[in-house]
Structures are given as structure tokens and as C-alpha cells.
Amino acid sequence: MPKYIDPHALMREFGGKTVWKYNADTKSLFCMLCSISCPANRRCTVSQHTETKNHKKKLKYAKGQEGHRYWFRSPSPGSLDEWPAKE
């Protein structure tokens, strides 16, 4: 019998709730930085994704933006005018 892999443990190991979101319906982990979904029962897939150039680049940018609360916030309808203007 294969080992059970706790998706929340994978989330903690590879960046936490600010990077990953668990979807219980599809049993997958969604990378909010890259908009990619990985099966939650496959540790190697999540690990491979975290090693990609694209993920590392976006993670580095996100860590540089920690002081800005708007990085991981999703807009609510009608609140797009609250977002900071692009420079």
C-alpha cells in the first residue's frame, strides 16, 4: 500500500499558504504564483515545479514584495480602482 501524503505538509514544505492552495475536490495543490495545479498525492511533481525557473523567479519577486499587502490579495468585484497603478 502506498504511503499517504498529507497535502498540507507539502504546502508547508514548499512555501506555505501564501504560495499554495489546496483544492479538495480535485485533490490538487494550486501554485498561486504560476497558476499551475499539481496533484497533491505526488510529492515529486510539486518538488519539480518548485525547481522550475519560472517559479523561482516569481517566488523571488513575491518575497521582495512582502511589505506590500496587495501581492497575494485577490480583488473583489468593484474594487479594481483600489489596486496600485502600474508604473
Model pLDDT, residue 76: 54
Residue 74 lies in a domain: no
Helix, strand, coil % over all residues of the chain, rounded to 5: 35, 15, 50
Rounded CA gap, 76 and 11, in Å? Answer: 25
- The model carries a pTM of 0.67
Number of domains observed in the structure of the chain: 1
Judging by DSSP bridges, how do beta strands 20-23 and 28-31 pair with one another? antiparallel
Residue 23 lies in a domain: yes
Residue 84 lies in a domain: no
Give the domain extent around 62: 7-66
**Average pLDDT estimate for 64-82:** 55
Model pLDDT, residue 61: 85
**pLDDT category, 74, cuts 50, 70, 90?**
low
Write phi, then psi, for 79 (nearest 5 degrees): -110, 15
Chain segment 1-51, per-residue pLDDT in tens: 568 888 889 889 988 888 999 999 999 999 999 999 999 988 899 999 999
